Structures are given as structure tokens and as C-alpha cells.
A and B are shown apart, each in its own frame.
Chain A
């Protein structure tokens, strides 16, 4: 086969394809959790705490709906199962963050405690779903507590972030 330079319009096109493909690939792979600087890390902690709160709230809604007989057992189980996954994912996310300064480290540890403490009640909600019907009060109370602990932790992170912006 001979190559013919007067077919060149195709070459920039090929290069363009490769560049677009690479950009897309990189964009898709860009890890969100590994941010070097502390402000970024605290942002991540805040995001993960939001995930955790979202999981607790989902579990709470599912348990309430199940207790009221408004949600089929299987669906409730899936919803709470997904919440457990999200909650553990958040713990993992916060735990694997790299923070440099002691101050940020302390905030992170508090957040990690709050997120870890939230996993138990969510998992307990799933256990409750699997058991024969019983009042959901205990489960809901535990979820409520976890929720307020998470809110407190979120507040601390926000304060720490605000301190960074206005030293």
C-alpha cells in the first residue's frame, strides 16, 4: 500500500479522535478522593460526611415507610442495603484521606468517628428489617442520634474550612 499525502485531512482527524478519547478517559478516571492540600482534603471530608448523612436519612425513610407498611420488605431491604454501602464507603473515603497538618488531622479524626458511628445504626436498621415485625422506635432513635452526630461533625469541618479561608 502506498501512502498519499494529498489525503491529509484525515490525519488531524485521527489525532483529534485520539486526543478526545484520552481526555475522556482521563476525565473518567480522575480520582476525586486524593487531594493533596488540606483545604481540598477537608472539602472531601465534608462531601463524605454528606454522603453518610444521606445514607442515614435514606435508611430512616425506608424504616419509617416499612414500619407503616408502605414499602415492600424486599425493596426496603435493598434501600437500606444501599445505605449501608454508602455509609461504609464514606468511612473508607475519610479514612484514606491524606492530611498534613495536626489541626486538619484532628477534624478528620472527629469526622471519621462520626461516620463510623453512623454505620452501626444503618446496619442495625437492616437487621431490624430482617426480623419479625417489632416496633421500630429503637432503630429510629439510633439513626436520629447518628444523624445529629454527623451534623455536629459537619459543623466542625465547616468551621475548620472557614478558618482556612479567613485566617
Chain B
């Protein structure tokens, strides 16, 4: 009994720590410094959405043993699934670039060695973990260290803001100095950051890696339903830190170092150190997850052997795909692109690719041949359908908004 409680607690803590990635960190900070908390509602909408679909894909994986992209291929056929694969891979690799860049930027904060020099080191470290380390260990260590980002929530309290004022910001409204199009552009970006498709690929494939069965469903549901909302709360506290300190100073976030300024003001050197550990862990964990997701999607579409639980020689093409993805990431970062800019684009393109990923999950979760008695209930279906509509609207709006606002100019 005790060990079971421990497992659940560990799962929840990992889910909190693993929720945040470079996309969430950057987008929330940017949004907080420009819009205060007036977009916090989007995080809430996104978190509920990722809970619904992560739970659904986890359930499908546990009951049928099939991961998300196998199902996408089986249900949508090779052509539509192929388009989906192209879009998902592009977005996942873009996210991987952002995450590896994020690790480098976070390490720079702790070392003042230029982030471009950290990029190959970070990528090599990611690869070594993918190559050697047990799936569970990898998940738990990055997740628990990522918990250090609780520092942002602590900072909000230490800053001792005017709570009434902060609460008043929660009302959705377009600030006077920003246009409505820019507001909605960032709404889509935040939504994309919270619901990135790789999370679902990773979650369902991870369920297969961990050999989930129907018995584990309750645990998985608890992890998702408790862990992700708390992770979302951390997202909002990043925006709050930016809103309290950076917004009044007229600072627009365009680098990761600016994330540490509110922390320094609130908690001093110690808290900054804690948060930097959290930044490294969160981006490192997300880099692992995105790299794995590139391998998962490609292998599952083409029916290759995959999985970290197998020896690399027993899943050679899966490992080769991940190596190539990392090489591409390093190559792109070496062209001196700004990782922050890559991150901002990656979350918007995520929003574009979302509906294609989520529709097949919703369909299969209703299919008794896959799910037996575990087909979706009414509430789950209602939520799933509502979210599908939101996803389609966000996907259609993303590119026009990006062009109209010159990517949030």
C-alpha cells in the first residue's frame, strides 16, 4: 500500500515537473510581460484540453496496447496519416530545436559560456540518455528536477503583489497598447504551447513503454488530472512574475535571462539557482520527450520496431531516426537562429497541427473493438467534441493571425 502511494505521488510530481517545456516557459513569460494575466484563461483552457486528450490516449494505449500514431495510420489510411506525419514531424522537430536551444540558454545562465557552445553538448547529453538510460529513471529524474520551477510560484508570493490588482488582470481583455489581432495571436500561441501534439504521442507511447494495463488506468488518470493542472498553475505563475516585475518596467521578454530578473528580485541568489536548475531540467526533459516523439511517430506510421525498453539494436531505425532528428536540431541551431524565436514559431505551428492528431484518438476511444467496455463516457465525449471545435478554430486562425500581426510584432 505504501509503495503504491509512493508511486502515485511520484507520478503526480513527475507530471507537474514534466508539464513545462521551453514553449510554455517562453510563451508565458512573453505574454505576461505584454498582456499581464489577461491571457491566463487560455492556459486554463489548454490544460483542460491536454488533460482530456492525454487521458484518452493513455487509456487507448493501456487497453489496446496501440500507441497514438499506429491508430492514426490505421484509422486515417496512409495518405491522410502521411500528411499528418509530415506536419507532426515538422512541428516536433521544430519543438526539439527549441528545447535543445532552451537547454543551451539555461546552461548559459549558470555558466556564462555562450549558448552556441552548449548546443552540441546538450544534444550529445540528450542522445546519451536516450541511448542508455531506463525510461522510468529518465522520466522521474527530469520530472522531479523540473519541480524546481515551483520557484516561480514561490516568487509570486515573495514579490507580494497587490492581489486585488493581480486578480483584476485575470479578466480577458485586450490591453490598450496592443491590438486585438496580437492578443488573439498570443492566445493561439499559448494554447499551442499547452497542447503541443508531441505530448500526446509521448504520453501514449510512454504508456506502452511502461506496459500500462487497465489496472494502471486509475493511476494514470490521477497523474494527469492532478499533475497537469498544477503544471498549468506553474505556467500562470511564470506569466504572473513577468506581469508583476517586467510589465511595469516596460520590458518585453526576448531572452531566457529575463526570466531570472523577477526571481532575483523576489528570492535572491538561492531562488535564482533553484529556478535555473528547473529550467535546465524542464528543457532537458522536454528535449528527451520530443526526440522520442520523432522516433515514435515515424516508427509507428511505418510499423518499425520502437521503444526505449528495447535494446537499441532491437529498434535500430527508431534510434537512427532520433539521432537524425538531433543532428538536424544541432545543425539548425548552429546557423545562429534565435532559439527563443524558434520556440515562438513552434508553438504556433503546433496549434496548426493539433486537430489531425486529436480526431483519431477521439474516434478510437469510442470504438468497442479497441476499447471493449472502456469506451468513452458521455462527459468525455462532450469534452472531446468541444475541444475538437476549439482546435479546428485555433488551427485555422493561427497562420492568418501570424501573417496579419507579423508574428506578434
Q: Which residues of A contact B (CB under 8 A)?
A: 9-10, 13, 16-17, 20, 23-24, 27-28, 30, 32, 47, 50-51, 53-54, 57-58, 60-62, 65, 69-72, 74-75, 77-79, 81-82, 85-86
Contact = CB atoms under 8 A, between A and B. Distances in A.
A17 B264 contact: no
B92 interface: no
Contact of A28 (B108, B112, B345): B345
Contacts of B264: 61-62, 65, 70-71, 75
Contacts of B249: 57-58, 60-61
Interface stretch (B122-130, B369-377, B401-409): B401-409
Main secondary structure of the interface of B (DSSP, over half): helix
A47 B255 contact: no
B80 A82 contact: no
Contacts of A9: 79
B265 A65 contact: yes
Nearest to A151: B250
B112 A13 contact: no
B254 A54 contact: yes
Could you say which of B245, B249, B276 has the most chain A C-beta atoms within 10 Å of its C-beta?
A: B249
Contacts of B409: 32, 47
Nearest to B265: A65
B250 A71 contact: no
B260 interface: yes
Nearest to A147: B250
A58 B251 contact: yes
Given A57-B251, A72-B273, A78-B257, 5 more contacts: A13-B80, A65-B265, A70-B264, A70-B265, A86-B254
Nearest to A53: B250
Contacts of A10: 79
A79 B403 CA distance: 30
Could you say which of B108, B251, B267, B403 has the most chain A C-beta atoms within 10 Å of its C-beta?
A: B251
Contacts of A28: 345
B22 to A, nearest CB: 16
Contacts of A53: 250
A69 B349 contact: no
A86 B406 contact: no
B140 interface: no
A9 B254 CA distance: 44
Given A70-B268, A71-B272, A74-B110, A61 B255 contact: no
Given A27-B399, A47-B409, A82 B268 contact: no
29 contacts: A13-B80, A24-B399, A27-B402, A27-B403, A27-B407, A30-B403, A32-B407, A51-B252, A53-B250, A54-B254, A57-B250, A60-B249, A61-B245, A61-B264, A70-B264, A70-B267, A70-B268, A70-B269, A71-B260, A71-B268, A72-B273, A74-B110, A74-B111, A77-B112, A78-B257, A82-B255, A82-B257, A85-B255, A86-B254
Main secondary structure of the interface of A (DSSP, over half): helix
B62 to A, nearest CB: 33
A30 B251 contact: no
Contacts of B261: 58, 61-62, 65, 71, 79
Contacts of A77: 112
B83 A13 contact: yes
Interface in B98-124: 108-112
A72 to B, nearest CB: 5
A54 B251 contact: yes
A60 B407 CA distance: 28
A23 B110 CA distance: 39
B272 A74 contact: no
B86 interface: yes
A32 B345 CA distance: 15
A13 B257 contact: no
A78 B272 contact: no
A133 to B, nearest CB: 14
B406 A79 contact: no
B252 A54 contact: yes
B258 interface: yes
A50 B267 CA distance: 28
A58 B258 contact: yes
A78 B80 contact: no
Nearest to B340: A82
A13 B79 contact: yes
B254 A51 contact: yes
List 9 A-B pairs, minimum CB-CB distance, nearest first.
A79-B257, A82-B255, A65-B264, A71-B264, A70-B268, A74-B112, A57-B249, A70-B264, A54-B252
B149 to A, nearest CB: 16
Contacts of A70: 264-265, 267-269, 272
Nearest to A79: B257
Contacts of B111: 74
Interface in B370-409: 399, 402-403, 406-407, 409
A27 to B, nearest CB: 5
Contacts of B276: 75
